[in-house]
Structure 1
Amino acid sequence: MPGQRLGRDPGVVAGRIMAGARSLGPLLVLLWAVVSVSLPVTVVRLNKAMLDYVSDIGKVPLQRALQVTVSDFPDRSDAVLQPIREASPELILCLMGVPLSLGFQPNRVQILDVHLPSLHLKFIAGFGIHLSAAANFTIKVFRVPEPTELVLPVALLADVHVARDSIGTLVLSISACSSLFSPASTLDGSNSTSQELLDLVQEHIRADLSNTLCLQVSGLVQDLNVHLGTLIGLSPVGPESQIRYSVTSTPTITSNYMSMDVRAILFLLGKPILLPLHGAHPFVLPRPLGDEDAMATVGLSQHLFDCALLMLQKAGSLNLEITGQLNSKNNPLNTSTLGQLIPEVASQFPEPMPMVLKVQLGATPMVTLRTNSSALQLRPVVEVLAVSSSSALQFLFSLDVMVNLNLQLSVFKAKLRGTTSMLGGLQLSVVTSNVGSIDVSGALGCLKSWEGLWECETDTHTSVSP
């Protein structure tokens, strides 16, 4: 597995989710697990690259949140500035039918645009995350005889505390927040504004925004808490299967990363997939080795793989049905090909007929995790059937197969994927037969002749499975 690491438990694979991930949602899902139990089955470490990624995609929602309303600006006599009433050229054009915006807004101070040149997040050891952002506010003040446009630089600083609640959900809260205002400057064409008026406008805007901006940041954090709270429920894995997550302990936060012990429970038809923890013990991830592009390091235990494979086996997700097409020139799945290896088949089917292979896993697959590679053992039962002249399926024989596969794990778009290849040969035994005695070597020859069909159908099947 690219970037793979092993924890202290030999049954742990630590994978790296690389910075090419396009969506934050799948990564947030990794932060939860289900009920408070003694041992986690997943360890998630969020690295600095994750914060850089969130900083990049978080600029747009923060800019939207900072687009707030500013209260009316009073003049020295405390009278609110009124709309421009003199017959200006713009008003004359409007009366002539030319549609123009005269700025007759109830609020005489308006934020036209918010631009965030930078947004930076960093870990605070033992506490949470520090946020710092630089924002430029383009503000228009409607006054007589002409409006004034200003650019007001503001620095936003906030500390976000990361905690865990009683039901195993992460909870974020703002513990400190401040807005630092720099002197405003007028845009080109607005140089007629006196410094005295400019100072008054800045003072008014600062008083209006100093608390409002922090409230908007706090609102974004609360929205994120609402989203995180929805992840505590069942999330679909397949048509009949779900998964539930929860954090099992308070996250460990250093200046370089945030690490969480999480647990996942898989459900099939509403019932949890539970296996005993034989000889299991807590594990930790290896120290970071300077992979700057790795956003998260994920440690998956042997127990989680065992539960996932048991769920897939019970759900029938790993079962296959391969049907031969008689009119295909390159398809050996017909009675003519099989009759060359088993004479009784040729006797029962003098004319070539299509065949069907039904592959079912009677035993739960077994996975063994090793450094840089893993092994997967499957024990399927293969039923071989032929289409009779009446179009009904006729059972021919069944085989008990044991196959060992080399399992290579990888991460693609924040999803764990596995690819397999044969590891050694097949072990076969005949279970039942309606075509007389079957030599094991002949049965092995059958499977080898169908190997291409098996691989094609397996690739198609696994590409659509959860």
Structure 2
Amino acid sequence: MAGARGLGLLLALLPVVSAAMPGTVVRLNKAALSYVSEIGKGPLQRALQVTVPYFLDRSGEVLRPTRIQILDVQVSQFHLSFIADFGIHLSAAANFTFKTFRVPEPLELTLPVELRADARVALSSIGTPMVSISRCFPLLGHPSDFDDSNSTSRALLGLVREHVNAVLSNKLCLGVASLVQELNVHLGTLIGLNPVGPESQIRYTVINAPTVTSDYISLDISAVLFLLGKPIVLPRDAPPFAMPPHVRSEDSTATVGLSQHLFDSALLLLQKAGALNLDITGQLRSKDNPLNTSALGLLIPEVARQFPEPMPVVLKVRLGATPVARLHPNNATLQLQPFVEVLAVASNSAFHSLFSLDVVVDLSLQLSVSRAKLQGATSVLGDIRVEVASSNVGFIDKDQVHALMGSVFEEPLLEHLNALLGIGIALPNVVNLLYVTPEVFVYEGYVVVSSGLFYLH
């Protein structure tokens, strides 16, 4: 598998196939090729370290099988480029060091080789990205004798060269093909679920063949979120999502476009999972705690009458409506509409409903990327809007309740929400792939992550 890592990084972001809803675009730019070229020499060198069969030495009266071994392969140049509407072109230059174990004097020589290969990028029958070598040809140079003190004849050297040329012309391309097969096995690991929460997962799927231009490889991807093994389906179809050709791609290795559909699905998942629900309580004996019947009775006389002794108060926050994310240029916001029930704990530990509120909270949403996850953080925008939904304690002054919500509701809500969004959601990736120095940009209806890549060996 190690041999696939260098070339494999080219398609490290390519997810898997099965869903039909487009929601994400992944684009690998020319900088990705440069990075792969940089780290891919080692895997390519190992793939080119082929076995050379025995050479039949005809220089004497008796045919003598002579062992030839590749002592070392050094890839001095490795370059990758896009082939529009096809895939990737590979060119490499390497020096092969051979040792011929001839008696009485072994022969060491070097052979320069240039390697050219074209690889098609497509989708396999099982729906994973697949790379295949369509054309490969090595160009072998003239060997040089490392050991000037040996007495091996130039005729023998010519025979050895012919033997090595015949072997390498076939086996080097087989070595590259083997490397690509390891890559395809590695890409097969993209099929699977990435956890989002204890009972939820996300799966990215490629929905058509890659688009290859002279500047990048681009993939249309769908993101499906699952709760308890069941897919999250929005009540409305997602419109087609297309990212402009060169948005934030000038210096980035990878550009990932995330549509409104993905954010809507993630918020629906949180709402269905009940992850946004919380209970807000206070310390009964704290002097600053307004969440008890004594403090609340100062605002609502009926509460003081029903609870002459201080008792704890609990705010049960429940989101019946799905949160709404809005994406505008350089501005992402989130709106929550929780239903808040205010309950007092009676002396028998039973809950007694005092009143309930319909609340609207507008939040600023800041997005960031850590390693391979998109994370969020929020802060309240403007005032929290409150309406009394029902009351078991008579008339309630909305302004007084609004002040209460600002002091005891806002901070716990933000802490809870930011803890959830801080967990993050996995971006398209494979194991050991990290996003480095990422930048997040918000556009009308979509978000772009522009990033470098780092592959852990």
Same fold? TM cut 0.5: yes
Pick one of 57, 60, 63 that aligns with 2:39.
57
Quick check: 1:423 aligned with 2:381?
Answer: yes
Aligned to 2:118: 159
Aligned AA for 1:55? S
Query: Secondary structure at the residue paired with 2:166?
Result: helix
Aligned AA for 1:209? L
Aligned to 2:65: 80
Aligned to 2:370: 412
1:78/1:252 Cα in 2 relative to 1: closer, same or farther (>3 Å)? same
Aligned to 2:205: 246
**Partner Cα separation in structure 1 for residue 196 and residue 224 of structure 2:** 12
Aligned AA for 1:34? S
**Partner Cα separation in structure 1 for residue 10 and residue 130 of structure 2:** 18
Aligned to 1:200: 159
**Partner Cα separation in structure 2 for residue 142 and residue 48 of structure 1:** 45
Aligned AA for 1:52? S
Is the CA contact (8 Å cut-off) linking 2:80 and 2:91 kept in structure 1? yes
Quick check: 1:140 aligned with 2:62?
Answer: no
Pick one of 228, 237, 255 that aligns with 2:214.
255
The aligned length equals 413
Q: Once the two structures are superposed, what CA deviation does each residue of 1:23-44 show, in whole Å capped at 9, x if it has no partner?
A: x889735544533x4x622233
Quick check: 1:67 aligned with 2:26?
Answer: no
Q: Once the two structures are superposed, what CA deviation does each residue of 1:280-307 show, in whole Å capped at 9, x if it has no partner?
A: 6434322316743222333333233222
Is the CA contact (8 Å cut-off) linking 1:241 and 1:268 kept in structure 2? yes
Quick check: 1:369 aligned with 2:327?
Answer: yes
Is the CA contact (8 Å cut-off) linking 2:377 and 2:418 kept in structure 1? no
Is the CA contact (8 Å cut-off) linking 1:148 and 1:190 kept in structure 2? no
Aligned to 1:14: none
Is the CA contact (8 Å cut-off) linking 1:152 and 1:185 kept in structure 2? yes
**Partner Cα separation in structure 1 for residue 296 and residue 151 of structure 2:** 94
Higher RCO structure, 1 or 2 (CA under 8 Å, sep 6+): 1
Query: Secondary structure at the residue paired with 2:388?
Result: strand
Aligned to 1:284: 242
Alpha-carbon distance, 1:418 to partner: 2.7
Query: Secondary structure at the residue paired with 2:135?
Result: strand
Structure 2 matches for 1:103-142, cutoff 5 A?
108-142=67-101
Is the CA contact (8 Å cut-off) linking 1:42 and 1:301 kept in structure 2? yes
1:384/1:214 Cα in 2 relative to 1: closer, same or farther (>3 Å)? farther
1:240/1:440 Cα in 2 relative to 1: closer, same or farther (>3 Å)? same
Alpha-carbon distance, 1:362 to partner: 1.0
Aligned to 1:89: none
Q: Once the two structures are superposed, what CA deviation does each residue of 1:231-265 show, in whole Å capped at 9, x if it has no partner?
A: 34554433322334433333322111122222233
Structure 2 matches for 1:14-413, cutoff 5 A?
28-35=12-19, 37=20, 40-76=22-58, 77-81=62-66, 108-165=67-124, 168-187=127-146, 191-192=149-150, 194=152, 196=154, 197-277=156-236, 281-288=239-246, 291-325=249-283, 332=289, 334-335=291-292, 338=296, 341-342=299-300, 348=307, 350=309, 356-385=314-343, 396-413=354-371
Is the CA contact (8 Å cut-off) linking 1:130 and 1:157 kept in structure 2? yes
Is the CA contact (8 Å cut-off) linking 1:42 and 1:300 kept in structure 2? yes
Alpha-carbon distance, 1:463 to partner: 2.2
Further displaced range: 397-406 or 378-387: 378-387
Further displaced range: 368-377 or 163-172: 163-172
Where structure 2 has 5 or more consecutive residues not aligned to the other structure, the ranges are 1-5, 426-457
Query: Secondary structure at the residue paired with 2:82?
Result: strand
Cα RMSD, aligned residues only: 3.5
**Partner Cα separation in structure 2 for residue 222 and residue 385 of structure 1:** 63
**Partner Cα separation in structure 2 for residue 26 and residue 463 of structure 1:** 29
Q: Once the two structures are superposed, what CA deviation does each residue of 1:70-92 show, in whole Å capped at 9, x if it has no partner?
A: 222332243124xxxxxxxxxxx
TM-score, with length taken from structure 2: 0.77
Whichever structure has more strand as a proportion of its residues is 2
TM-score, with length taken from structure 1: 0.76
**Partner Cα separation in structure 2 for residue 459 and residue 427 of structure 1:** 20
